[in-house]
């Protein structure tokens, strides 16, 4: 009983429900291990009693982070302050990101009145000081009369009660919702590495992304292009190819650079060396496109690294130098730490746990000496981060200039590699010895362990969510929208103790109100929409909370059934409005593979089926037939059965019939690709994250061939916005 109470005080679940009618108890040793990762010793009953007594005796006047939403009631922590308390809000300092203030903002001082809004100020108390006008006044009656709403931002709040108790906390003042994308916009979903143009160096790059965006915006009226996470990977041979297990989520990977677009490239003196590298890069692309080779990220990076070593030797022009210096100042300590980790990894290997002990602490004297000794390499990696950021910005500008209403949709992975730059530079923020995953469910009885150390919710709150804010700010700087992988992680994550199976994990809760407030604030500042990947098991209330804040969900056709009714495919008008609707994702079969059953035979070949091939094919055929029958009844398949391309078009006609705000087209679907980019449950059995986009026969196709594909253009005729016909002179329109 004591352990359960202690766990509840720290947001650690002692049971969970994989289905509505089933409750599973979490093993005590799991709960004890998770509490230990949160700095709570519960190893013995005496330890539990001691920690429980200490936790229950603590009485905080304010939690570490307080959230206020514009126009909404104050949280209990503020609304319940003793009458006569002094409340002072210290606004963000001048120059804080998203807070352009020309002079130091004045503190917002006020006095908490009694519970009734009409109660007078305590006798003898001065009136509140004059304050700057807030960005938006709250709705009438939404907050007590004494409350002066601060501007949107991350402030410090100080409270002193009449009995002289004091508290200071971070105050997140957020707008009520994130910006919304244009209604009825469509766009492409693509794994950038898989999109090779004729000029690529063996994998798709930011030049290819910009080119795709310009073509899609101008030629087929698309409103966005969504890409996989472009986070910095952990170096090494072989590099983990998954974009969802990066070294750092804060900074992008320079492997995505289009080297020839860097202004200094044209001024490199050693042209012969560059020519040799370009020839090697052409050979890499040739092998992928025409010789059956897989995308080799390590080989691509080796060539680009050598080219970039030559490029950075070219002096920057005064204007470029000023831009670079501004970037360094804006990124500050976070960039310096990231670049130093990259430099140290070149010397000591990519796993910082194996480095000399003095270097395992980013703030140690030994690390400070290494920083000085590796100054040139640190600057090299800072320069690469800047160059990558400039090309990300250029891609978004190109998308906007092409008429896209959203532009580039970036992807935020759910976590980072345990040996990477983020876990080294922010060690106190991570729960070491823990891994994020998923509990057992109807689709995976063994659960999942993703090998990603989770953030500690207590440290996030104590630091005002600084790491989370910096992460979002960096990603949103050059985005038209942000997709958040496993968005349920804003509410809770499944923690698995190291060395134990995923079945022995448990849920740990996060302050969803604070996580959402920071997300909404940063998206508001950047003017970007947010899409949450909320597929699979979702706790009650999560989708409603996300929708309230304007975060779109993700709806995939094959999963949209009337699960609370007859289980049949969900009619288009019954789909939710606030979502990105798609036919598939990077973790699922392409639409052609789904329609033909190829995905079942692939999983059979790899030994992944839990039933016989005949049973799986029968079930899959039944599922597909139900959808095709619905499409036929809705007259979306005039060509009839047996026409695969027509069926793919019909699927997208259906998506357009739903009220979804955004419709996504998986780019490989436009050319009939059969192969999934990632096959969950496999590691070396399948070439995950290393396949170029291909035609139905599996032959890779370039960006130029994709955009010229008759199959693509026939599909895009379904999605292309219809412009009203202009009446000829003298003709009156009806």
pLDDT digits (tens, 9 = 90+) for 212-223: 999 999 999 999
Contact 575, 659 (CB under 8 A): yes
Q: What angle do CA 273, 241, 398 make, to 5 degrees?
A: 65
- Could you tell me the pLDDT band of residue 721, with boundaries at 50, 70 and 90? low
The confidence score (pLDDT) of residue 376 equals: 97
Please say if the pLDDT value at position 101 is more than 60.
Answer: no
- Provide the β-strand partners of residue 169: 157
Q: What is the mean pLDDT of the chain?
A: 91
pLDDT digits (tens, 9 = 90+) for 635-682: 999 988 889 999 999 999 999 999 999 999 999 999 999 999 999 888
- Could you tell me the pLDDT band of residue 433, with boundaries at 50, 70 and 90? very high
The confidence score (pLDDT) of residue 94 equals: 62
On the question of a cis peptide bond just before residue 238, with omega within 30 degrees of 0, the verdict is yes
Please say if the pLDDT value at position 293 is more than 80.
Answer: yes
Lowest model confidence (mean pLDDT) among 22-36, 92-106, 354-368: 92-106
DSSP 263-314: GGGGG-S-HHHHHHHHHHHHHHHHHHHHS-PPP-HHHHHHHHHHHHHHHTTS
Contact 574, 557 (CB under 8 A): no
Cα–Cα distance measured from residue 707 to residue 218, given in angstroms and rounded to the nearest whole number: 12
pLDDT digits (tens, 9 = 90+) for 580-635: 999 999 999 999 999 999 999 999 999 988 899 999 999 999 999 999 999 999 99
The confidence score (pLDDT) of residue 104 equals: 54
Long-range contacts of 541-547 (CB under 8 A, 24+ apart): 542/488, 542/491, 545/491, 545/512, 545/516, 546/487, 546/516, 547/576, 547/578
Contact 464, 408 (CB under 8 A): no
- Could you tell me the pLDDT band of residue 368, with boundaries at 50, 70 and 90? very high
Cα–Cα distance measured from residue 240 to residue 229, given in angstroms and rounded to the nearest whole number: 14
Contact 13, 476 (CB under 8 A): no
Mean pLDDT of 512-527: 98
In degrees rounded to 5, what are phi and psi of residue 597? 80, 5
The confidence score (pLDDT) of residue 443 equals: 62
The confidence score (pLDDT) of residue 537 equals: 79
Lowest model confidence (mean pLDDT) among 164-173, 232-241, 566-575: 232-241
Q: What is the dihedral sign for C-alpha 228, 456, 59, 491?
A: positive
Number of other residues whose CB lies within 10 A of the CB of residue 166: 11
Cα–Cα distance measured from residue 156 to residue 211, given in angstroms and rounded to the nearest whole number: 44
Residue 552 DSSP code: B
Please say if the pLDDT value at position 282 is more than 90.
Answer: yes
- Could you tell me the pLDDT band of residue 100, with boundaries at 50, 70 and 90? very low
Pull the structure tokens for residue 263.
Answer: 């202004």
Residues found in the chain? 734
Please say if the pLDDT value at position 309 is more than 90.
Answer: yes
Lowest model confidence (mean pLDDT) among 363-372, 415-424, 535-544, 586-595: 535-544
Cα–Cα distance measured from residue 152 to residue 173, given in angstroms and rounded to the nearest whole number: 5
Contact 40, 54 (CB under 8 A): no
The confidence score (pLDDT) of residue 538 equals: 87
The confidence score (pLDDT) of residue 230 equals: 98
Query: Which is higher by pLDDT, 288 or 104?
Result: 288
- Could you tell me the pLDDT band of residue 730, with boundaries at 50, 70 and 90? very low
Cα–Cα distance measured from residue 460 to residue 65, given in angstroms and rounded to the nearest whole number: 9
HSE-up of residue 600 (Cα within 13 Å, Cβ side): 18
Please state, in angstroms and as integers, the Cα–Cα distance from residue 340 to each residue in 9, 182, 360, following that order. Answer: 38, 41, 12
Cα–Cα distance measured from residue 109 to residue 158, given in angstroms and rounded to the nearest whole number: 9
pTM: 0.92
Within 8 A by CB and 6+ apart from 456, the residues are 37, 38, 428, 429, 430, 431
Please say if the pLDDT value at position 336 is more than 90.
Answer: yes
The confidence score (pLDDT) of residue 113 equals: 67
Please say if the pLDDT value at position 125 is more than 70.
Answer: no
Please say if the pLDDT value at position 117 is more than 50.
Answer: no
Please say if the pLDDT value at position 128 is more than 50.
Answer: no
Q: Is 545 exposed, middle or buried (0-12, 13-18, 19+ CB in 10 A)?
A: middle
Please say if the pLDDT value at position 438 is more than 60.
Answer: yes
The confidence score (pLDDT) of residue 733 equals: 36
The confidence score (pLDDT) of residue 683 equals: 83
Nearest to 405 by CA among 713, 184, 718: 184
Query: Which is higher by pLDDT, 533 or 536?
Result: 533
The confidence score (pLDDT) of residue 97 equals: 53
The confidence score (pLDDT) of residue 625 equals: 95
H or E element, residue 593: helix 591-596
- Could you tell me the pLDDT band of residue 257, with boundaries at 50, 70 and 90? very high
Please say if the pLDDT value at position 489 is more than 70.
Answer: yes
Mean pLDDT of 31-37: 97
Please say if the pLDDT value at position 138 is more than 80.
Answer: no
């Amino acid at each position: 009983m004591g352990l359960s109470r202690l766990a509840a005080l720290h947001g650690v679940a002692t049971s969970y429900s994989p289905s509505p009618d089933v409750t599973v108890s979490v093993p005590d040793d799991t709960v004890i291990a998770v509490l230990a990762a949160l700095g709570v010793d519960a190893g013995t009953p005496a330890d539990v009693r001691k920690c429980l007594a200490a936790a229950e005796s603590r009485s905080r006047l304010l939690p570490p982070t307080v959230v206020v939403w514009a126009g909404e009631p104050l949280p209990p922590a503020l609304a319940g302050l003793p009458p006569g308390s002094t409340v002072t809000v210290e606004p963000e300092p001048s120059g804080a990101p998203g807070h352009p203030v020309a002079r130091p903002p004045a503190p917002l001082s006020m006095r908490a009145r009694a519970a009734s809004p009409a109660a007078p100020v305590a006798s003898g108390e001065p009136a509140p000081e004059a304050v700057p006008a807030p960005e938006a006044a709250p709705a009438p009656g939404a907050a007590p009369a004494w409350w002066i709403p601060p501007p949107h931002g991350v402030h410090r709040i100080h409270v002193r009660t009449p009995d002289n108790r004091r508290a200071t906390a971070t105050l997140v003042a957020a707008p009520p919702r994130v910006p919304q994308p244009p209604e009825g916009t469509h766009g492409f979903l693509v794994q950038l590495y898989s999109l090779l143009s004729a000029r690529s160096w063996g994998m798709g790059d930011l030049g290819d992304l910009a080119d795709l965006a310009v073509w899609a915006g101008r030629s087929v009226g698309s409103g966005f292009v969504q890409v996989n996470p472009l986070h910095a990977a952990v170096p090494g041979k072989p590099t983990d190819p998954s974009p969802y297990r990066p070294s750092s989520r804060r900074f992008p990977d320079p492997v995505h650079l289009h080297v020839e677009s860097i202004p200094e490239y044209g001024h490199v003196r050693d042209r012969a060396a560059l020519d040799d590298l370009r020839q090697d890069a052409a050979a890499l692309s040739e092998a992928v496109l025409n010789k059956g080779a897989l995308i080799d990220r390590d080989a691509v990076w080796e060539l680009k690294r050598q080219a970039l070593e030559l490029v950075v030797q070219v002096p920057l022009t005064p204007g470029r130098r000023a831009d670079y210096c501004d970037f360094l100042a804006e990124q500050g300590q976070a960039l310096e730490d990231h670049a130093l980790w990259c430099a140290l990894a070149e010397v000591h290997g990519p796993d910082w746990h194996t480095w000399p002990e003095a270097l395992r602490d980013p703030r140690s004297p030994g690390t400070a000496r290494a920083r000085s000794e590796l100054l040139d390499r640190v600057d090299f990696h800072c320069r690469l981060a800047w160059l990558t950021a400039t090309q990300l910005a250029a891609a978004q500008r190109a998308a906007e200039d092409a008429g896209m209403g959203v532009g580039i949709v970036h992807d935020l992975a759910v976590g980072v590699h345990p040996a990477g730059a983020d876990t080294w530079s922010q060690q106190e923020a991570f729960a070491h010895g823990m891994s994020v995953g998923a509990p057992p469910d109807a689709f995976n009885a063994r659960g999942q362990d993703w090998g990603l150390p989770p953030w500690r919710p207590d440290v996030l709150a104590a630091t005002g969510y600084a790491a989370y804010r910096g992460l979002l700010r960096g990603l949103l700087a050059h985005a038209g929208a942000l997709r958040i992988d496993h968005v349920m992680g804003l509410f809770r994550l499944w923690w698995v103790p190291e060395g134990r199976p995923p079945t022995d994990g448990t849920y740990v809760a996060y302050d969803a109100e604070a996580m959402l407030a920071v997300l909404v604030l940063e998206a508001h500042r950047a003017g970007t929409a947010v899409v949450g990947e909320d597929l699979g098991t979702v706790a009650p209330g999560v989708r409603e909370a996300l929708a309230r804040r304007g975060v779109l969900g993700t709806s995939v056709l094959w999963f949209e059934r009337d699960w609370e009714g007859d289980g049949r495919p969900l009619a288009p008008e019954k789909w939710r409005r606030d979502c990105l609707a798609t036919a598939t994702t990077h973790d699922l079969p392409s639409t052609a593979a789904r329609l033909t059953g190829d995905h079942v035979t692939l999983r059979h070949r790899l030994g992944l089926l839990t039933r016989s091939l005949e049973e799986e094919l029968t079930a899959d055929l039944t599922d597909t037939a139900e959808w095709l029958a619905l499409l036929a009844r809705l007259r979306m398949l005039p060509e009839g059965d047996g026409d695969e391309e027509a069926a793919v078009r019909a699927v997208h006609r259906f998506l357009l019939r739903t009220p979804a705000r955004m419709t996504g087209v998986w780019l490989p679907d436009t050319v009939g690709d059969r192969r999934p980019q990632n096959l969950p449950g496999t590691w070396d059995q399948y070439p995950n994250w290393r396949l170029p986009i291909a035609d139905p026969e599996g032959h890779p196709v370039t960006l130029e061939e994709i955009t010229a594909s008759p199959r693509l253009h026939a599909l895009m005729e379904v999605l292309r916005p219809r412009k009203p016909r202009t009446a000829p002179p003298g003709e009156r329109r009806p």
